[in-house]
Amino acid sequence: MVQIIPAILSISEADYDRDISRYRKSQSFQDGWIHIDFMDNVFVPNKSIDAAATAKYPTLLQKEAHIMVAHPKEWVDDLVEANFEKIIFHIEVEDDKNECIDYIKSKGVQVGLAINNSTSLKKLEPFLGRVDMILVMSVVPGFQGQPFIPESLERIREISRMRSQGNFSFKIGIDGAVKNTNVKEIASSGVDFITIGSYLLKGDIDQNLEELWEAINE
């Protein structure tokens, strides 16, 4: 069954504190993963809090970092120090991707690659046997609450084909603009996990999650 992973994108510690507390108080997210977005204002035009800040605010959830940054390797030590157990960086970075994958693995942390809609899926090929997950971006990264990019569904199906053809074991996720109106189609496209931010955080988190599951199962 598909997994729903709640997301937080915070540009201030106060925002992070508010949102992580809301997830902490929700009934639905007492265990599992939380997806935390980091941005450096270089790779994307927005800047988030840093990894160390997240360590100040408790959560029972296991932390996954989605780092939208130009130099991912430079973020790894702080993320590991802040107890992140998965690190997902972007295939579009110019830095040496293999070196970064090796470095993350050397810390005993799972590693993933995120891919923007404008990037050819062929770019993923050399890394498919080396990563734990591929994250398909269904928005232009940098902000919550953006419009969904419909081509993402076909891209997920294509990555799924690449996985079976190569006998790979990575998981496939989608990130961006998932809501009750598109979640069913997304869930049937072959994804293993779905990352959701603004839809969950608008109003009551537990009720929003219930609406998502109702849409998936209807």
CB 144 → Zn ion: shortest distance, Å?
9
Separation of alpha carbons 130 and 14, rounded Å:
37
Query: Out of 19, 40, 132, 175, which one is annotated catalytic?
Result: 175
Q: Is 139 in the site for ligand DX5 (CB under 6 A)?
A: yes
From the list 4, 5, 66, 80, which residue makes contact with ligand DX5 (rule: CB under 6 A)? Answer: 66
Phi, psi of 207 (to 5 degrees): -65, -40
Tell me whether residue 189 or residue 195 sits nearer to ligand DX5 (CB atom).
195
| Residue nearest ligand DX5 by beta-carbon distance | 197
Whether the CB-CB separation of 77 and 112 falls below 8 Å is answered with no
Query: Out of 17, 31, 37, 204, which one is annotated catalytic?
Result: 37
Tell me whether residue 144 or residue 189 sits nearer to ligand DX5 (CB atom).
144
Q: What is the CA radius of gyration of the chain?
A: 16
For residues 174 to 203, the per-residue mask of contacts with ligand DX5, x marking binding by CB under 6 A and - elsewhere, is: -xxxx----------------xxxxx----
Tell me whether residue 76 or residue 88 sits nearer to ligand DX5 (CB atom).
88
Task: Write the CA distances from 23 to 55, 84, 202, integer angstroms.
Answer: 16, 17, 12
Q: Does the annotation count 15 as an active-site position?
A: no
What is the contact surface with Zn ion in residues (CB under 5 A)?
37, 66, 175
Q: Which of ligand DX5, Zn ion, none does residue 177 bind to, with CB < 5 to 8 Å depending on kind?
A: ligand DX5
Task: Write the CA distances from 198 to 100, 195, 204, 205, 208, integer angstroms.
Answer: 30, 10, 11, 10, 10
> DSSP assignment, residue 85?
E
Separation of alpha carbons 159 and 133, rounded Å:
11
Bridge partner residues of 4 (DSSP): 194
User: Would you tell me which residues interact with ligand DX5 (CB under 6 A)?
Assistant: 7, 9, 35, 37, 66, 139, 141-146, 175-178, 195-199
- Active centre residues (catalytic): 37, 175
